[in-house]
Amino acid sequence: MTIAHTVSELIGNTPLLRLQKLDTGPCELLLKLENQNPGGSIKDRVALSMINEAERQGRLAPGGTIIEATAGNTGLGLALIAAQKGYQLILVVPDKMSREKIYHLRALGAQVRLTRSDVNKGHPAYYQDYAKRLAQETPGAFYIDQFNNPANPLAHETTTAPELYAQAEGKIDAIVVGVGSGGTLGGLQAWFRQHSPETEFILADPAGSILADEVEQGSHGEAGSWRVEGIGEDFIPPLARLDGVRRAYRISDAQAFDTARQLLKTEGILAGSSTGTLLAAALRYCRAQTTPKRVVTFACDSGNKYLSKMFNDDWLRQQGLLQRPSTGDLRDFIA
Ligand code: PMP
């Protein structure tokens, strides 16, 4: 394809980059650059799939209203496609999310309703409960419900997984993923179970999320809080298929931010905070191996949304994550 006719055609078929400069132990570490999707994240694939499926099922009429609860990236994907196809879009977004994401959503024509980040599922202000209620109250609205929508993992089962496998020439020993809605993990596992059952799945989880506990112990306590955006949960997302995950790594915000910054400095990839979590876990996994393995992880979204946050030394200092004045060399304050 040389000339695309809609921006939707530019979603997917993202490049796969072999990391060269970071210490990957005996392993080859490949990064799938989902930050290169037109909306800037892996969620473009899912947004397209869920809108297409709703149209196919006759649940979305021309000019109709789409409602979703989203940390931002699904919203950006939905806003991109809704604008192309002429749908109204209302997004309920927790207020901890970066301003850049919210301005971007509004610029795409979406209506953004901010809600509290400090409440859990079951509270009326919790972003998913709020969106569900809004959808019930809005006549003719279609609630995307990415946490329960089978077209979410389906996007990864039908596009991300086979692309990755073909790019890696049919040899992938392990895939390191994070879980937000669980669509990526669930969809990839569905495909790999069929076509490459020996591929292991490894969870990268922000410290404070309950998902790593669930993988390791089959149970979990109360969730804490974390600043990494897009992954980690305080409940078990039904689409995630956590039972297929071999092991989990808990990554602190400081480690995630530091790793994302190292990725930019060493390999030239500007990716977001969840990528920092995934990459930190992938590096830990790689360095713990005794035999060479081919490992894949994802640059889930672009880092330009976080320039005023984790790429900003003043913000890191305010968050207590940068202890002394920066000399410009991150290794100074990690040590
Ligand atoms: N990274 C980022 C930046 C995200 O926004 C999301 C989605 N919330 C994910 C990773 C996780 O993807 P999934 O919803 O497929 O679990």
pLDDT digits (tens, 9 = 90+) for 290-306: 999 999 999 999 999 89
Cα(219) to ligand 1 centroid in Å equals 22
Is 43 among the catalytic positions?
yes
Torsion of CA 150, 213, 93, 58, to 10 degrees: 10
| Sign of the alpha-carbon torsion through 21, 22, 27, 33 | negative
CA distance 333 to 28: 28
Residue 182 pLDDT level (bands cut at 50, 70, 90): very high
With a cut of 0.95, is the ipTM above it? Answer: yes
CA distance 306 to 29: 24
Pocket of ligand 1 (CB under 6 A): 41, 43, 71, 73, 178-184, 229-231, 272, 274, 300-301
Statement: residue 316 has pLDDT above 70: yes
Active-site residue, from 32, 43, 101, 305: 43
pLDDT tens readout for residues 218-238: 999 999 999 999 999 999 999
Residue 121 pLDDT level (bands cut at 50, 70, 90): confident
Statement: residue 113 has pLDDT above 80: yes
Q: Which of 89, 98, 86, 95 is nearest to 40 (CA)?
A: 98
pLDDT at 324: 63
CA distance 273 to 277: 7
Which protein residue's CA is at the shortest distance from atom 8 of ligand 1? 230
Q: Count of H helices and E strands in the chain?
A: 12, 10
User: For residue 194, what are the contacts with CB-CB under 8 A and spacing of at least 6?
Assistant: none
Structure-token pair, residue 80: 């991109």
Statement: residue 243 has pLDDT above 90: yes
User: For residue 5, what are the contacts with CB-CB under 8 A and spacing of at least 6?
Assistant: none
Does an H or E element contain 65, and which? strand 65-69
Measured from the Cα of 152, ligand 1's closest atom is 15
pLDDT at 208: 97
Statement: residue 275 has pLDDT above 50: yes
Which protein residue's CA is at the shortest distance from atom 3 of ligand 1? 230
Measured from the Cα of 73, ligand 1's closest atom is 5
Q: What SS3 state is found at 325?
A: coil
What's the average model confidence in pLDDT over 161-165?
A: 98
Structure-token pair, residue 199: 């591929």
The answer to whether 183 and 239 have CB atoms below 8 angstroms apart is yes
> What percentage of the chain carries pLDDT values higher than 70?
96
What's the average model confidence in pLDDT over 201-213?
A: 98
Statement: residue 333 has pLDDT above 50: no
pLDDT at 72: 83
Q: Which of 9-23, 40-54, 109-123, 262-276 is least confident?
A: 109-123
User: Angle at the Cα of 297 (from 315 to 283), degrees rounded to 5?
Assistant: 70
pLDDT at 335: 35
pLDDT tens readout for residues 59-84: 998 999 999 998 689 999 999 999 99
Which protein residue's CA is at the shortest distance from atom 6 of ligand 1? 230
Hey, how many other C-beta atoms are within 10 angstroms of the C-beta on 66?
25
Hey, how many other C-beta atoms are within 10 angstroms of the C-beta on 328?
7
Structure-token pair, residue 181: 């809605």
> Per the confidence metrics, is the pTM higher than 0.90?
yes
Cα(198) to ligand 1 centroid in Å equals 24
Cα(188) to ligand 1 centroid in Å equals 13
Mean pLDDT of the chain: 94
The answer to whether 71 and 94 have CB atoms below 8 angstroms apart is yes
Q: What SS3 state is found at 80?
A: helix
CA distance 161 to 149: 18
